[in-house]
Amino acid sequence: MHAPDGFLEPSVAIITAVIALVAVSAGVRYAGRELGDRQVPLAGVAAAFIFAAQMVNFPVAAGTTGHLLGGALAAVLLGPWVGMLVVSVVVIVQAVLFADGGLTALGYNTINMAIVTAFGGWAAFVVLRKLMPRTSAGVVGAGAVAAGISVVLSAAAFSIEWLFGASAPVAFDTVFGAMVGVHVLIGIGEAVITGLVLSAVMASRSDLVRGAAHLSDDELNATSRVGFRPFVIGSVCAAVVVGVVVSQFAASNPDGLERVAIDNGFEESATDHALDSSWFSDYATAGISNESVSLAVAGVAGICITLLVGGGVVSASRSTRRRQTA
Amino acid sequence: MPGDSRMHRLSPEAKLVAVVAVVVVIAMTPRRETVAFALYALGAWAIIATTKIGLLTYLKRLSVIIPFVMFALIVPFIGGGESVYVLGVSLSVDGLWATWNILAKAGLGATMSIALSATTPVPELLHGMTRLKVPRLLVAIIAFMLRYIDVLVEQLGRMRRSMVARGHDPRWLWQVKPIASSAGALFVRSYERGERVHQAMLARGYTGVMPTVSEQRASTKEWLAVLLCPFGAALVLTVAVV
């Protein structure tokens, strides 16, 4: 998600930079109000934690790994303002010191990876925790699902920026479908990991979890514990449901447009059958129907490439490690 | 990265401003001005050469842009508009330009960032940011983050080693729990570390603002020398567009 320089048009880069600047300075102020003079050490060390947590590789399936993005986790642990500030700092440091994400892309990268994930994740969390039992497990479950949603929101935010500042002739529908589709999968991983990290923190220092501040001691100790396996199965089911709903929503639009275009194309080629121009109308339909097919192909190819490259790298590093230790 | 090239000796704030300005000019350049991009590339590589960081280090650090380059390579196949045939495959002309645009700008932008970060020690860069009036609280938070990244990564490494020593070797998502628990433990430890550091700072007279050590500001001569780069780039852009 660390977009490089020139990925979106300069106008979008400037507008998003201004928005990000305002949000981050508001974050500094509100976080300062919350943390007082503890702000510098606590936010600094929390940012280092998010940075380190992003380096932890989690297994996904035979040899494939994923890592935490952490925006929603930071918001649930530290509150939305501190969480947003902390993840913004991580994004800024990655761009300035590690060349990871372009300097002119800092505006939209900060919005997508810090602001949308922290506030979107927090909003989802606040709604979800009302639906869940008032227990530790309820907070963990709400945090997990909110983390999954935050990743999808981040992908949607990127697609919307693409709508305004696309640097390539790829339709919004295509980008939206592909980004959201892939990120539903990433979101499942994010949800599982966030839930597990949260439950570990809740088990030892629930007083540190900002999102559990509304619970009394009795509610924290209530033993309506959800087992690990039911939790994973439940969250995967929820993600699949969300995925199906979102993809329907994403797919309905291009479907409609394409149907119209195809109908027109058919009409033209039917009436002007003898003319050369029908050749062109054929082409137009071919081009458009091709786009939807190629969207699917691109999506599947992307997933395959990721799986293959990830699997290859991991198995390679695995075998060298084995050899070194042997 | 330690070193003693001309780039290393320049003042950090001047370098930071110059790099940002150059990257902005590059990002604004219309994609079809290939000559301008060629000139930028020559300039950027000349700068990298003066840093003496070595080709391998440069390429290694450049590899962070690969995921988006992969996306850029897909664009001609899925892009709309007029198309050309290359070896029997239909490619979108606008899509090819978009690929070029992303490759050129991402590559040049990353190159300039590398030139900056490879030649400027972190504390100096942070001092430079303070002198550029970046809010001091933000700079202080960044400084703390950078100070503790290594500590936390080492702590994670220790936890991981102790898990591996006990026969831990997860391959599937449902084996993820121990790693996630250790990340949770890391959060608790980090937070408690933050609190301890805060108390230690209070004991040493911390008032909520980090004291600044006054250091030499960039001289006018340095500013002029460094700002030649963005001005040169802007000149190339103007000539190319007009």
Which pLDDT band, with edges at 50, 70 and 90, does A87 fall under?
very high
Chain A residues with CB under 8 Å of B95 CB are 168-170
Closest residue on chain B to A166 (Cα) = B98
Nearest to B109 among A5, A49, A168 (CB): A5
Task: Note whether residue B18 is domain-resident.
Answer: yes
The C-alpha atoms of residue A309 and residue A30 are separated, in whole angstroms, by 42
Burial B96-118 (b: 16+ CB within 10 A, else e): bbbbbbbbbbbbbbbbbbbbbbb
- Cα distance from B219 to chain A (closest Cα, Å)? 23
Interchain CB distance below 8 Å, A168 and B184? no
Closest residue on chain A to B143 (Cα) = A44
Task: Tell which of A11, A39, A45, A51 to mutate to test the B interface (max B CBs under 10 Å).
Answer: A45
Percent of chain A, pLDDT > 90? 1
Which pLDDT band, with edges at 50, 70 and 90, does A299 fall under?
very low
Which pLDDT band, with edges at 50, 70 and 90, does A273 fall under?
very low
Q: Is the pLDDT of residue A62 over 70?
A: no
Interchain CB distance below 8 Å, B173 and A2? no
Higher pLDDT: B2 or B41? It is B41
> ipTM score of the complex?
0.80
Same domain, B22 and B91: yes
Closest residue on chain A to B121 (Cα) = A97
Higher pLDDT: A229 or A5? It is A5
Q: Is the pLDDT of residue B213 over 70?
A: no
Number of domains in chain B: 2
Q: Are strands A57-61 and B89-92 parallel, antiparallel or unpaired?
A: unpaired
Chain B residues with CB under 8 Å of A10 CB are 27-28
Q: Is B39:B236 a contact under the CB 8 Å cutoff?
A: yes
Same domain, B45 and B151: no
Same domain, B116 and B133: no
Which pLDDT band, with edges at 50, 70 and 90, does A293 fall under?
very low
pLDDT of residue B42: 85
Interchain CB distance below 8 Å, B102 and A7? yes
Residue B226: which residues within 8 A CB-CB, separation 6 or more? Answer: B10, B14, B15, B17, B18, B218
Which pLDDT band, with edges at 50, 70 and 90, does A312 fall under?
very low
Interchain CB distance below 8 Å, A168 and B176? no
| Distances A180 to A122, A123, A311 between C-alpha atoms, Å | 19, 19, 23
Same domain, B115 and B146: no
Which pLDDT band, with edges at 50, 70 and 90, does A59 fall under?
low
pTM: 0.74
Same domain, B151 and B109: no
Interchain CB distance below 8 Å, B151 and A48? yes
In terms of residue numbers, what domain contains B153? 129-203
Same domain, B116 and B148: no
Enter the DSSP assignment of A166: B
Task: Note whether residue B1 is domain-resident.
Answer: no
pLDDT of residue B143: 86
Q: Which amino acid is at B179?
A: I
Interchain CB distance below 8 Å, A168 and B72? yes
Same domain, B166 and B92: no
Same domain, B153 and B198: yes
Percent of chain B, pLDDT > 70? 87
Nearest to B109 among A4, A49, A192 (CB): A4
What pLDDT digit, counting tens, does each position of A240-262 carry?
A: 555 555 544 444 444 433 444 44
Size of interface A-B (CB pairs under 8 A): 282
- Cα distance from A22 to chain B (closest Cα, Å)? 12
Interchain CB distance below 8 Å, B137 and A49? no
Interchain CB distance below 8 Å, A298 and B74? yes
What pLDDT digit, counting tens, does each position of B146-202 carry?
A: 888 888 888 888 988 888 898 877 776 667 778 888 888 888 888 888 888 888 988
pLDDT of residue A284: 33
- DSSP secondary structure string, A50-102? HHHHHH-EEEEETTEEEE---HHHHHHHH-HHHHHHHHHHHHHHHHHHH--S-
- Cα distance from B113 to chain A (closest Cα, Å)? 5
Partnered with residue B84 across adjacent β-strands are B91
| Distances B136 to B29, B117, B130 between C-alpha atoms, Å | 33, 20, 6
Interchain CB distance below 8 Å, A48 and B78? no
Interchain CB distance below 8 Å, A6 and B92? no
Closest residue on chain B to A287 (Cα) = B80
Mean of the pLDDT values across residues B125-151?
84
Task: Note whether residue B211 is domain-resident.
Answer: no
A86: tokens are 């902390």
Interchain CB distance below 8 Å, A205 and B75? no
The C-alpha atoms of residue B65 and residue B34 are separated, in whole angstroms, by 21
Class assignment of domain A10-325? mainly alpha
Nearest to A61 among B74, B83, B172 (CB): B172
Interchain CB distance below 8 Å, B173 and A167? no
The C-alpha atoms of residue A131 and residue A147 are separated, in whole angstroms, by 16
Q: Look over chain B and give the mean of its residue pLDDT values, rounded to a whole number.
A: 80
Same domain, B22 and B141: no
Higher pLDDT: B195 or B70? It is B195
The C-alpha atoms of residue B219 and residue B216 are separated, in whole angstroms, by 8
Chain A residues with CB under 8 Å of B210 CB are 40
Residue A86: which residues within 8 A CB-CB, separation 6 or more? Answer: A43, A46, A47, A50, A74, A78
Task: Tell which of B187, B189, B195, B201 to mutate to test the A interface (max A CBs under 10 Å).
Answer: B187
Residue A289: which residues within 8 A CB-CB, separation 6 or more? Answer: A258, A262
Nearest to B101 among A6, A171, A174 (CB): A6
- Cα distance from A266 to chain B (closest Cα, Å)? 20
| Distances A76 to A42, A149, B63, B181 between C-alpha atoms, Å | 15, 13, 33, 16
pLDDT of residue B198: 85
Task: Note whether residue B159 is domain-resident.
Answer: yes
Chain A residues with CB under 8 Å of B201 CB are 41
What pLDDT digit, counting tens, does each position of A116-157 carry?
A: 899 988 988 888 888 877 778 888 888 988 998 888 888 888
Nearest to A228 among B137, B177, B193 (CB): B177
Same domain, B44 and B151: no
